[in-house]
């Protein structure tokens, strides 16, 4: 087994951060790195990746191409990724060449919904009730969840993909078959008051910094807007930050991560999902904080001190989805801070940009 390369000194200005993935998160990471005087090398399997427009160097190749990965690693001082569906094998392979963070140990549990929930519950934190489904007969346990829930594939699901509402054992079996019997979980419904998230960053030295948790609203399983401050009380905000730190420490995570939360009417916080990366619900930090989540992530993986997550303004961030991006002149006239991601093709449900509105919090 190849030894994992550790970061022995901070990556200095002029150094290169390699980023696996070329979507809007990679694009905004590259822009944040440039502000710090760092170069970025984007690796993507998409030829028209939005991040290619703003990086110093690019590699267009499959994520399992070892020859391309090797050349990419040699051109970088440190490596990270922008989304969690990168093959774990690619992250492990790169870690034998250059410091790669978050590492495969932090990535693996977040790629599998069952392993993720087992991790969270093992830390003494709460999630929605769930059962593991690896074969049709496993669905029989569905009744203990109250007869209604959501069947989700264990891997490769986001923005509502790989999910189906089910209200009986028969429906659950049908959904499992529709997903070609891919390993799945069934989650029991949670009667929550609203949803929130907390975005934190952990450094190589174990230092930790977290942003104020936003309240989130979804439409058709896609994040529509994030608002800060939301309805979380100060006590709940501190609890949310403590949850994020507990998870980050348990994973040995280096970089930014997001923990999505259900907030019950009783005030209790349940962990919904973990994203081992910068997150859509933290886009408001670009305009409302001293140091954005993107700069914070670059700082962490480059071995720099973490920046202040302090918020200087209240903020509301709204996603621009699908056809909404076509009238870009109307969007530009709406006010607020407009961010467009440079995506060439508009598709239903595709995140094309966002707008953030600010109000001085003082």
Please tell me the distance from the alpha carbon of residue 284 to that of residue 41, in angstroms, as a whole number. Answer: 25
At 361 the pLDDT is 60
- Given a cut of 70, whether residue 43 has pLDDT beyond it is yes
Length of the chain: 362
pTM: 0.95
For the chain, domains (ranges, CATH) are 16-100 (3.40.50.20), 129-188 (3.30.1490.20), 192-360 (3.30.470.20)
Residues 142-177: tens digit of each pLDDT: 777 777 789 999 987 665 567 888 888 888 888 888
Residues 76-97: tens digit of each pLDDT: 999 999 999 999 999 999 999 9
Residues 195-250: tens digit of each pLDDT: 999 999 999 999 999 999 999 999 998 999 999 999 999 999 999 999 999 999 99
Please tell me the distance from the alpha carbon of residue 103 to that of residue 78, in angstroms, as a whole number. Answer: 12
If you average pLDDT over residues 278-285, what whole number do you get? Answer: 98
At 3 the pLDDT is 87
Sign of CA dihedral 144, 145, 148, 153: negative
Residues 283-326: tens digit of each pLDDT: 999 999 999 999 999 999 999 999 999 999 999 999 999 999 99
At 171 the pLDDT is 83
> How does strand 192-202 pair with strand 130-133?
unpaired
Q: Write out the two tokens for 144.
A: 């203990």
Q: pLDDT exceeding 90 applies to what percent of the chain?
A: 84
Strand ranges for 167-254 from DSSP E: 184-188, 192-202, 208-210, 215-219, 222-228
User: Do 131 and 183 meet the contact criterion of CB atoms below 8 Å apart?
Assistant: no
Distances (CA, A) of 174 to 152, 159, 177: 13, 21, 5
Q: Write out the two tokens for 355.
A: 């707008």
**Cα dihedral value 274, 276, 277, 280, nearest 10:** -10
Between 23 and 173, the higher pLDDT residue: 23
């Amino acid at each position: 087994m190849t030894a994992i390369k550790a970061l022995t000194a901070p990556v200095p200005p002029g150094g290169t951060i390699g980023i696996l993935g070329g979507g809007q998160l990679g694009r905004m990471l590259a822009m944040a790195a440039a502000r710090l005087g760092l170069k970025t090398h984007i690796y993507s399997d998409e030829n028209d990746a939005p991040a290619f427009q703003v990086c110093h160097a690019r590699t267009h190749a499959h994520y399992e191409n070892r020859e391309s990965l090797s050349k990419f690693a040699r051109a970088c001082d440190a490596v990270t990724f922008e989304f969690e569906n990168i093959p774990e094998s690619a992250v492990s392979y790169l870690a034998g060449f250059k410091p790669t963070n978050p590492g495969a140990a932090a990535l693996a549990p977040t790629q599998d919904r069952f392993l993720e929930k087992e991790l969270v519950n093992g830390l003494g934190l709460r999630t929605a009730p769930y059962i593991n489904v690896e074969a049709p007969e496993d669905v029989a346990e569905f009744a203990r969840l109250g007869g209604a829930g959501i069947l989700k594939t264990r891997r490769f699901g986001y923005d509502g993909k790989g999910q189906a509402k089910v209200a009986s054992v028969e429906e659950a079996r049908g959904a499992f078959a529709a997903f070609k019997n891919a390993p799945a979980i069934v989650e029991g419904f949670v009667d929550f008051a609203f949803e929130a998230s907390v975005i934190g960053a952990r450094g190589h030295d174990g230092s930790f910094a977290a942003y104020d948790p936003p309240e989130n609203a979804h439409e058709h399983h896609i994040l529509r807007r994030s608002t800060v401050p939301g309805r979380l009380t100060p006590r709940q905000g501190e609890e949310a930050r403590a949850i994020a730190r507990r998870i980050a420490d348990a994973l040995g995570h280096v970089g930014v991560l997001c923990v999505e939360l259900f907030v019950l009417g009783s005030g209790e916080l349940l962990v919904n999902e973990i994203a081992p990366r910068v997150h859509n619900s933290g886009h408001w930090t670009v305009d409302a904080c001293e140091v954005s989540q993107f700069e914070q992530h670059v700082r962490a993986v480059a071995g720099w001190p973490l920046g202040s997550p302090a918020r200087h303004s209240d903020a509301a961030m709204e996603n621009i989805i699908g056809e909404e991006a076509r009238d870009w002149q109307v969007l530009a006239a709406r006010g607020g801070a407009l961010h467009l991601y440079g995506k060439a093709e508009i598709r239903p449900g595709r995140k094309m940009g966002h707008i953030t509105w600010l109000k001085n919090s003082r």
